[in-house]
Amino acid sequence: MSLSRIFSGVAAAVLGLGLAATAAEAKVYKVGVTQGPHEQVVEFVKSELAKKGIEIEVVGFSDYVLPNQALNDGDLDINSFQHQPYLDNQIKDRGYKLTSVGKSIVLPMGIYSNKVKSLNDFKAGDTIGVPNDPTNGGRGLLLLQTAGLITVDPKAGLRAGVPDITANPKGLKFVELDAAQLPRAIPDLAGAAVNTNYAIQAGLVPTKDALIVEDANSPYANVIAVQDKNKDAEWVKAFVAAYHSDATRKFIVDTFKGSIVPAF
């Protein structure tokens, strides 16, 4: 075999390896988000990552259940939609091999009503809607406690449920609904505890329309999650760095004007 053929074969092999490496580096990472603020922020992060040659695909969900299932099953590479207590609860209940790799934003929960203008206007027997998942349901009840409407057994912690209410002076009733359904249920209820992402989708402005809203010290900061095995991956570090950049912080502050705040 001639030297030229040998060199040609070597060159082809090297080129083939180069193309394979390029193909591997060209992976499009799928990021799961709930529609609304999380989606808006990650779309901005997408543009920042594109400057570094990293491509992501933003996959929107309309509920809180599927994004973790999809991530655990490998249909997503990363997600950004939930607070740490919710993730902890999902891991405990479903055995997911997921972990948080950084904080994202705080979407303060608020109490909304079309029927009263003040927390003091709730009357005996009024029905309040709260999310039906353990962590967000507890979050709503704790906010109602902060408002002075009920008292919750402190032993229940962040996972408090309706049975953990120890004092209810007004005799309020509670209905548990899917978090995404609560904004649409507001007209039929005296009030509802609504997560900010769903409130904004429904045209509500937390700082203006809520009777009470969580402050920035809420323990419910949202997080970025990945499969355990990917927690130290370079692309994960790049995603978190882009999310935690000054540019992303400015986007959040300018876009949401206090209704949503950076948690980093």
Residue 21 lies in a domain: no
pLDDT at residue 163, rounded to an integer: 96
Same domain, 59 and 96: yes
Going by DSSP bridges, is the β-strand pair 55-61/212-213 parallel, antiparallel, or unpaired?
unpaired
Question: Tokens representing 226?
Answer: 């990945």
Give the three-state DSSP class for 83: strand
pLDDT at residue 58, rounded to an integer: 98
Residue 39 CA to residue 197 CA, distance in Å, equals 10
Query: Average pLDDT for residues 57-67, to the nearest whole number?
Result: 95
Determine the structural domain holding residue 148 and report its residue range.
Answer: 110-213
Q: What is the pTM of this model?
A: 0.74
Question: Tokens representing 145?
Answer: 């406690």
CATH of the domain at 46: 3.40.190.10
Query: Average pLDDT for residues 47-73, to the nearest whole number?
Result: 96
Cα four-point dihedral sign 128, 131, 132, 138:
negative
- Domain total in the chain: 2
Residue 35 CA to residue 195 CA, distance in Å, equals 12
Name which of 100, 73, 72, 76 is nearest 86 in CA terms: 100
pLDDT for residue 66 is more than 50: yes
Residue 13 lies in a domain: no
pLDDT at residue 216, rounded to an integer: 66
Cα 114 to chain centroid distance, Å, stands at: 26
The neighbouring-strand residues paired with 224 are 80, 102
| pLDDT tier at 10, thresholds 50, 70, 90 | very low
Same domain, 128 and 65: no
Residue 204 CA to residue 197 CA, distance in Å, equals 10
Same domain, 91 and 118: no
**Residue 68 burial (CB count, 10 A):** 23
Please, what is the average pLDDT of the chain?
Answer: 89
pLDDT for residue 70 is more than 90: yes
Burial 161-195 (b: 16+ CB within 10 A, else e): bbebbeebeeebebeebbbbebbeebeebbbbbbb
pLDDT for residue 212 is more than 60: yes
Residue 4 lies in a domain: no
Residue 11 lies in a domain: no
> Could you write out the DSSP letters of every residue in 78-109?
EEEEEEHHHHHHHHHHH---EEEEEE-EE---
Residue 199 lies in a domain: yes
Same domain, 100 and 114: no
Least confident of 19-33, 54-68, 134-148, 152-166: 19-33
What pLDDT, in 10s, does the model give residues 71-103?
999 999 999 999 999 999 999 999 999 999 999
pLDDT for residue 26 is more than 70: no
What pLDDT, in 10s, does the model give residues 215-260?
767 888 999 999 999 999 999 999 999 999 999 999 999 999 888 8
Same domain, 101 and 134: no
pLDDT for residue 12 is more than 60: no
pLDDT for residue 24 is more than 70: no
Separation of first and last alpha carbons in the chain = 62
Share of the chain above pLDDT 90, in %: 77
pLDDT for residue 157 is more than 50: yes
Share of the chain above pLDDT 70, in %: 90
Query: Average pLDDT for residues 12-20, to the nearest whole number?
Result: 39
